[in-house]
Amino acid sequence: MFAVAEFRWSWIALVGSVIGDQLARVALSILVFDRTGSAGLAALTYALTLLPDIVSGPLLGGLADRLPRRRLMVTCDAARAVLVGLMAIPGVPLWILCVLLVAVQMFAAPFQSARSAFLASMLTGDIYRAAIGLSSVTDQAARLAGFVLGATIVAALGTSQALALNALSFAASAVLLRFGLQERPAALGDDPAARPSWWSSLVAGARLVWSNRRLRYLLALCCVPGFYNTVLGLATPYAASIGGAELAVGILFAANPAGQIAGILLTSRIAPARRMAMMGPLAIGTCAVLIGGVFQPGLWVTVGLWCLSGMCASFLPLAQATFVQEIPDAQRGQVIGLARTALVVSQGMGILVAGAAADLWKPAMVMTGAGVVGVIYAAGAARGYRNAGSERANK
């Protein structure tokens, strides 16, 4: 991977922008809470960094097919740098901050669609799958670093300065991508008159996934996090149920992403064909270990279970890479945008349902229920994908 100069530059840009993103999330939550004293408004502010993906994925993901992808990535990063820079101005009213925040997040879907499609056109085969795995490790590690360092940096510099650092990270990413990547023509060509309409592209992308059994079940596998990521909504009530303090909450939050980092690094040493065969069992394993909650274990056993679930989640980058490689280049941006929305919705709904259920039942029992339902779902998706592969091999 690192022998390819373009990948090196895109990876460095990814590190800076993800850390900056997490820093901004922490800074905004602290800023809103300090001004209002409302935990609900602070949580809503954090949610606003996720919700726009639901709309922007289908609506804007297709721009990655209509425009040159490098140009689109640079434009999205430059726009986010300007918008976050405006958010960093001291004394900006909260409602304007929220509007700017939604606008910033609207640029995330076309950027990610363009980046995934660009990598798929630049790298091939197992090198591309390895690149997606490394990007996932980088994303998880940068998120952990952003959360760990975020409060410290905000305390030392202030929220406005922390947001200014985030704006700087976007600007640096735009510069790195502009001068580190080669421009390529738009996947749908340079003639606007020859391109299908926006609505036609959206419908064609959805039809492609629905009519192709392999793509349909690969997307189903990509949505398995909707079950095992429910632990993110259970960390606080679970720690409270076992008498844990704030430190226990932090440890529980870190368990799953830490496991994902370890799992991806371990599976990267396995032969490509063997990794493909392990994809279904690992997807099932992410949820199966959560059934251990039925024994209502203490903190460290729970941390171990969540970490093991994260290790099994090493199947996800492989499923995502395989999904992208199965899509024709001219439709990659649109289909990736649709898939991104499906993933965000499934995870958001899972965490929301788990959090609500924890008000009625013990968090350990909610974890168990998510594990049971998740195993059934993942087993069905894995079987469907395996059967679709067998059918194609027999043709």
Confidence of residue 7 (pLDDT cuts 50, 70, 90): confident
pLDDT value at position 380?
Answer: 94
Least confident span in 17-26, 127-136, 350-359 = 17-26
Which pLDDT band, with edges at 50, 70 and 90, does 48 fall under? low
Taking CA 126 as the corner, what is the angle to CA 57 and CA 331, rounded to the nearest 5 degrees? 30
Pick 216 or 129 by higher pLDDT.
Answer: 216
C-alpha 150/C-alpha 111 separation (Å) is 24
Residue 361: the pLDDT is 83
Position with higher pLDDT, 51 vs 70: 70
In sequence order, the 6+-apart residues with CB closer than 8 A to the CB of 233 are: 350, 351, 352, 354, 355, 358
Candidate from 35-49, 109-123, 217-231, 258-272 with smallest mean pLDDT? 35-49
Contact 132, 272 (CB under 8 A): no
Provide the pLDDT for residue 232: 74
Higher pLDDT, 150 or 271: 271
Contacts of 39 (CB under 8 A, 6+ apart): 33
**Separation CA 1–CA 173 (nearest Å):** 19
**In sequence order, what DSSP letters do the residues of 269-327 get, joined into one string?**
TS-HHHHHHHHHHHHHHHHHGGGGGGG---HHHHHHHHHHHHHHTTHHHHHHHHHHHTS
Could you tell me which residue, 338 or 245, shows the higher pLDDT?
338
Which H helix or E strand runs over 13?
helix 5-36
Does residue 285 or residue 150 have the better pLDDT? 285
Mean pLDDT, range 360-382, rounded to an integer: 90
**Under a CB-based contact definition with an 8 Å cutoff, are residues 314 and 282 in contact?**
yes
Continuous H helices in 37-107:
39-47, 52-60, 63-66, 69-87, 94-106
Domains assigned to the chain: 1-179 (1.20.1250.20), 197-390 (1.20.1250.20)
Q: Which band of pLDDT confidence, cut at 50, 70 and 90, is reported for residue 141? A: confident
3-state secondary structure of 351: helix
Tens of pLDDT, residue by residue over 88-108, are 888 888 888 888 888 888 888
pLDDT of 328 over the 60 cut: yes
pTM > 0.85: no
Closest CA to 76 of 54, 106, 107, 114: 107
**Does residue 168 have a pLDDT over 70?**
yes
Q: Using an 8 Å Cβ cutoff, are 196 and 65 in contact? A: no
Residue 75 in this model has a pLDDT that exceeds 90: yes
**Nearest-angstrom CA–CA distance, 104 and 96:** 12
Mean pLDDT in the chain? 82
